[in-house]
Amino acid sequence: MKPARTHQQIRSRGLNMKRRQLLQLGAGLLLGGMNGVRALARSADHVIVVGGGIVGASICYQLARRGARVTLLEKSHPAAGATGKSFAWINANVSKQPRHYHALNRLGVHAFHDLQQEIGAELPVRWGGTLEWYANEERAAELRRLARQQQAWGYPIRFVDQAEFARHEPRATPGTTLVATYSEHEGSVDSAAATRVLLRRAQVAGATVLYPCEVQGIALKGARGITLQTTQGELHAERVVLACGVDTPRLAALAQVRAPLKPSPGIVVRSTPQPPWVQGVLVAEDSHFHQQADGRVLMGDDYGPPATEPHQQLASQPADFPGPDFSELHGQRIRRQAARYLPALADVPLESVSLCWRPVPRDDFPIIGYAPQSPQLYVAVMHSGVTLGPLVGELAAMELLEGVEIDLLAPYRPARFAG
């Protein structure tokens, strides 16, 4: 006689079924039209992925586990760029507009849930939902409007009162609040560690990972593929994927392809490991923070930093802060802002203050797909790379190996920047 299932097991099984049903629905949307079918890729074809962040690692992993011959090139080390400095929030938040972009991110959240089921505890993900709240009347009104819109789209977001807020995060002190919402399926991840996990899994499946290896030239060979000039010599492949974040415009230009980005600095402060203080992601007017599985608390700035002299010094897009005093200034400011809502942070030691240049395409939407000028060159660059990484890894692998054009990705093709 089988033992009776617990309530938690039944609920978990129900959520898993819902995720599978949603992804099946997504797959139906993805494959509903194949009017842009390419020549079917051969399993012996060599695919080179340029970029060792979470997007490149996800694509490499999905290609390798499908039996493709794949090599990943990273100019420095895995997760050296935006991935390793990301706030790493997995979400389909109210800011993800319009509906097609919300739907893409929603599938991204579910793809992360499925990836964790596939890989297990080795993937450092935490699912505690997102609490977002505002005291500013204008922001509160906008949150109400967008949350109602997402509810109409079927997204599991709800309005919460102070009592429910306290049940979710008893150590947090939100203060005066005009509106608060809770998005239950969202979470966070140690994105650098997750990237390394994906690359290890890809290598076990047969992938080659080379770093440091910088691409210095791209020569298109027509039907004979692409040759890359790199710091580790000349490499040839039938297809090349550019998943190299802020380096994408420069490398794409070597193949006469446009992938325009806009400057988007972000600052993330990381504490030393601390006792478990918060479960989910907390988003307020001037701060957002969450705690990783290893106890480190990640704190982010307001989405629109003030136009102060320290911020103006970032206009030249430096690779790092001008000096340690400048870094410390930002770290103390961001910690102070977060401590308004989590007092335990007031004196916590800071491990790092990271300046990150996020790969945000010029029109704010991902650039995913084959370049119209070069049918052997595939581009994958986006902000929300953490949320979308596992999903884009699956979809890109399908397009590269199965010879299909997936309808869901139609709004994000590189062709919109051609000419």
**What are the start and end residues of each CATH 3.30.9.10 domain in the chain?**
126-186+264-359
Amino acid 180: pLDDT? 98
Verdict on whether the full-model pTM lies above 0.85: yes
CATH superfamily of 27-83+192-262+363-417: FAD/NAD(P)-binding domain (3.50.50.60)
The Cα–Cα gap between 209 and 63 comes to: 13
**Per-position pLDDT tens, the chain of length 419:** 444 444 444 444 444 545 444 544 454 444 333 333 343 445 568 999 999 999 999 999 999 999 999 999 999 999 999 999 999 999 999 999 999 999 999 999 999 999 999 999 999 999 999 999 999 999 999 999 999 999 999 999 999 999 999 999 999 999 999 999 999 999 999 999 999 999 999 999 999 999 999 999 999 988 789 999 999 999 999 999 999 999 999 999 999 999 999 988 889 999 999 999 999 999 999 999 999 999 999 999 865 445 555 555 555 556 666 677 778 888 999 999 999 999 999 999 999 999 988 999 999 999 999 999 888 999 999 999 999 999 999 999 999 999 999 999 999 999 999 86
Amino acid 40: pLDDT? 40
**What are the start and end residues of each CATH 3.50.50.60 domain in the chain?**
27-83+192-262+363-417
Amino acid 327: pLDDT? 85
Residue with tokens 């990943």: 72
- Joined tokens for residue 306: 């003030």
Q: Which fold has domain 126-186+264-359?
A: D-Amino Acid Oxidase; Chain A, domain 2 (3.30.9)
Amino acid 221: pLDDT? 85
